[in-house]
């Protein structure tokens, strides 16, 4: 994602996964066997790894500094955040392995189901919170600008609107660009919509494939309402987290009841 944008890389990944991955093409009961529930414990270190490996470099990079050289170095450090997250997760996992015993044997797996479920749920809750915070914060700023316009400059009053923030211009247009900043915003808008649509379609496809019975009309309408409501309230990334969570719940149930 550092060299290929979200709107380009995510469609390619989702398409390849749906047609090539054994977890996506196998039948429902077989797919559930690919889930190694002992590895769910690795999720315990993921939130802290992301906070330190991604959150800290992001905050440092966003701090306004008079020293341009230092700011560029902080930007360069931020570019490596996937590597920092991976290294931190490996380090935390190594420290944890040194303190605790290895996972129980396979015949005792069901005794660990509750603990593993809590670890996984915490990881999903962290992902949901991270996805929702940015969306809600954006809506809050837009609402504040509408309710208390005097707190904002004239430029901000004209720029920070629902239409300007979320509605990109036509993809094919001969209109000249007004500024480099606006061009970057328009690119990120299309990047977000393309990546979000394909990632949510991918997650929905995996969830429907994991079900042991097709969705009925009522269940389909209920799921559609939940997706639409969550998208408006918390953003498309929150919908992705939700769909992956209920898909994992479905495969876990198949694994434990087989």
* Residue numbers of the domain that contains 225: 153-167+176-258
Looking at per-residue confidence, does 63 or 256 come out higher? 63
Q: What is the pLDDT of residue 31?
A: 52
* pLDDT over 70, % of the chain: 81
Q: What is the pLDDT of residue 28?
A: 53
Confidence of residue 2 (pLDDT cuts 50, 70, 90): low
pLDDT above 90 (res 136)? yes
Q: What is the pLDDT of residue 254?
A: 54
Q: Provide the token pair at 6.
A: 């979200």
Q: Is residue 60 domain-resident?
A: no
Q: What is the pLDDT of residue 213?
A: 82
If one counts the domains in the chain, the total is 1
pLDDT tens digit string along 187-233? 889 999 999 999 999 999 999 888 878 889 999 999 999 999 999 99
Q: Is residue 92 domain-resident?
A: no
Could you identify the residue written with the tokens 């440092």?
60
Q: Is residue 87 domain-resident?
A: no
pLDDT above 70 (res 107)? no
Is 11 within 8 Å of 5 (Cβ atoms)? no
Q: What is the pLDDT of residue 103?
A: 47
Q: What is the pLDDT of residue 182?
A: 84
Q: Is residue 93 domain-resident?
A: no
Give the per-residue SS3 of the chain: CCCCCHHHHHHHHHHHHHHHCHHHHCCHHHHHCCCCHHHHHHHHHHHHHHHHHHHHHHHHHHCCCCCHHHHHHHHHHHHCHHHHHHHHHHHHHHHHHHHCCCCCCHHHHHHHHHHHHHHHHHHHHHHHHHHHHHHHHHHHHHHHHHHCHHHCCHHHHHHCCHHHHHCCCCCCCCCCCCCHHHHHHHHHHHHHHHHHHHHHHHHHHHHHHHCCCCCCHHHHHHHHHHHHHHHHHHCHHHHHHHHHHHHHHHHHHHHHHC
Q: Is residue 200 domain-resident?
A: yes
Q: Is residue 219 domain-resident?
A: yes
Is 243 within 8 Å of 200 (Cβ atoms)? yes
Q: Is residue 17 domain-resident?
A: no
Q: Is residue 24 domain-resident?
A: no
């Amino acid at each position: 994602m550092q060299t290929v944008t979200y709107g380009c890389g995510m469609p390619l990944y989702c398409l390849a996964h749906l047609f090539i991955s054994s977890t996506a093409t196998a039948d429902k009961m077989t797919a559930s066997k690919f889930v190694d529930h002992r590895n769910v414990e690795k999720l315990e270190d993921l939130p802290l790894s992301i906070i330190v490996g991604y959150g800290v470099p992001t905050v440092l990079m966003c701090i306004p500094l008079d020293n341009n050289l230092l700011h560029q170095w902080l930007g360069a450090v931020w570019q490596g955040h996937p590597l920092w997250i991976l290294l931190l997760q490996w380090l935390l996992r190594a420290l944890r392995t040194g303190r605790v015993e290895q996972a129980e044997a396979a015949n005792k797996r069901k005794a660990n189901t509750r603990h593993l479920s809590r670890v996984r749920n915490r990881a999903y809750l962290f992902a949901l919170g991270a996805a929702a915070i940015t969306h809600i914060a954006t809506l809050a700023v837009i609402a504040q600008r509408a309710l208390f316009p005097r707190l904002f400059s004239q430029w901000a009053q004209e720029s920070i609107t629902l239409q300007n923030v979320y509605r990109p211009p036509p993809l094919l247009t001969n209109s000249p660009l007004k500024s480099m900043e606006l061009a970057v915003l328009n690119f990120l808008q299309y990047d977000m919509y393309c990546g979000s649509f394909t990632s949510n379609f991918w997650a929905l496809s995996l969830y429907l494939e994991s079900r042991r019975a097709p969705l009925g009309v009522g269940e389909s309408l209920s799921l559609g309402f939940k997706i639409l409501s969550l998208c408006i309230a918390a953003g498309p990334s929150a919908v992705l987290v939700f769909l992956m969570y209920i898909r994992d719940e479905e495969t876990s149930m198949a694994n434990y009841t087989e």
